[in-house]
Amino acid sequence: MKHLVIAGAGEFGRELYWTIEGANGYGTEFDIKGYLDDAPEPEKVAKLQKPLLGSTKEYQISEDDVFTCAIANPAAREVVIQKLLDKGAKFISIVHKTAIIHGSVNLGKGMVVCPFTVIGDSSVIGDYVVLNGFSAIGHDCVVGEYTCMMSHVDVTGHANVGRRVFIGGGAGTVPGVKIGDDAYIGAGSVVLKKVNPGIKVFGNPAVPI
């Protein structure tokens, strides 16, 4: 049995705890050991279901440890994951039992796939991606590393989403759209045309802000 350490003890960390309890492999392949956080807030730590184990810097990795990351800011997510990888951490994917993932999908490592998500035929999903509850990725899509999609996001067929993209809850795209690295798509936005790297867009249709 492996012992899962959750990097990030904020609100998403609390939500992820319950996703993990309903994930494939929980209770048979791994249990939950606790949390790491480099800037813990006492009022948030008090709400955790498992103990705070320390910071990413001070924590000593054990042979039976495996890791997941509960940080939804893509850039911060990459920094924390890389810190832990440099220390020898091994990340596993958390995939909730209610997720529907077509057999032709190419999944990256270290992903978080929350309840009632769908990933369609022949899509390619990069390492350390977050797909929050009820989000959907259509057929033949590409999603880059560290990208985070919040709940009820709808990325339609042949879309290409870059690395470290944040897509807010309820946002969607038309088929075939391209979103560049480090872009930010505001909640509820509808992306009708290309979003250049590093651009923040919002609205229906989504426009730069």
96-121 mean pLDDT: 98
Average pLDDT score over residue span 87-103: 98
- 22-33: b or e for each residue (b if 16 or more CB lie within 10 Å)? ebebbeeebebb
Give CA 178 to chain center in angstroms.
19
- pTM over 0.75, yes/no: yes
**Mean pLDDT across 125-132:** 98
